[in-house]
Amino acid sequence: MDNNREKIWRHARLSCAPMMDWTDRHCRYLHRLLSREILLYTEMVTAPALVRGGAVHLLDFSDEEHPVALQLGGSDPAELATAAKLCEARGYDEINLNVGCPSDRVQSGTFGAVLMKTPQLVADCVKAMQDAVSVEVTVKCRIGVDDQDTEKVLPDFLDQMARAGVSRLAVHARKAWLQGLSPKENRDIPPLDYPLVHQMKRDFADMHLSINGGIATLDEAEAHLAAGMDGVMIGRVAYQNPADVLCSADRRIFGAGTDSDPIEVVRQMLPYIEAHLLAGGKLHQVTRHMLGLFSGRPGARAWRRYLSENAPSAQAGPQTVEAALAFVERAAA
């Protein structure tokens, strides 16, 4: 294993899941200030948007975000290979293929979780991407879809991925029901099957497997790691209550560094916010990701309310964030 891949595997011990409309570049910059070690993922970018639509601006990110992985959606091997080249040229540390998203929009494009039904096509896509780039190509999948027998489908899928040269996967420990459940319901209603994913790690010992789905605390993450998983991927909680998950992640999960301070992180965000505004951006594009930063702490409600009410203003700027932060600091005094 080369040094860069070994480094990314270490960071993959804990990762923040790719989440549409949430894990954009502003969110990732905030998360990187909270944790220097966690592996970050972009929200999904579709290969057709990059290759046919020319939307390469979707690949923009800050160098400070490293290590950061780009998640691609698609099902055409040649198109994915071309998109992967664009991602590698932008400097991403990993390219991840989405085989887990259950949305109608994704299904209509024949990618996402529906690809669990065609593992050979996934293998072809992965192989084409691997042939096109030198960075690692990984896969994020479900344990199965619809009426599939997960105890048969998942090991068969992992076996085909292994034979295609995939050595690292993240497995969402729920089925995706492509008919009858909304994407939101698919995140909660299908039961979690952690034991099945743990068994896959025992059966595919040479693969780096991360477990995803319903994991809400670092205590839970540590339990999965202690049970033998190589990595844990945390989703909504890392976004909605980032301080509780990320501030102590470096120390607890990676044995590195000290806990970050969310108040100090807000101050570290101010130069980034100023640069974003100078480039023509809007304050709320950044602060919408910061609303949950003090969840459960004194002053959190006032912080959230002040930013929600004032950040959309055309006159809003760093001073708006400082005014919101004052509520937290006064409450903590």
pLDDT digit string, tens, across residues 151-165? 999 999 999 999 999
% of the chain with per-residue pLDDT over 90: 89
pLDDT band at 251 (very low <50, low <70, confident <90, very high): very high
Mean pLDDT check: name the lowest of 160-164, 189-193, 219-223, 286-290: 189-193
pLDDT at 187: 74
As a whole number of angstroms, the distance between CA 221 and CA 212 comes to 10
Exposed / middle / buried, residue 330 (Cβ in 10 Å: 0-12, 13-18, 19+): exposed
pTM above 0.85, yes or no: yes
What integer is the mean pLDDT of 85-89? 98
As a whole number of angstroms, the distance between CA 147 and CA 130 comes to 31
Peptide bond into 67 cis (omega under 30): yes
- Give me the helix-helix angle, 194-203 and 150-163, nearest 10°: 40
In the 8-state DSSP scheme, what is residue 129? Answer: H
Contacts with 267 (C-beta within 8 Å, 6 or more apart), sequence order = 325
Q: Which residues are catalytic?
A: 101
pLDDT at 90: 97
pLDDT at 55: 95
pLDDT at 107: 52
What integer is the mean pLDDT of 174-192? 82
- Reference 97, options 64, 130, 66, 65; nearest CA is 130
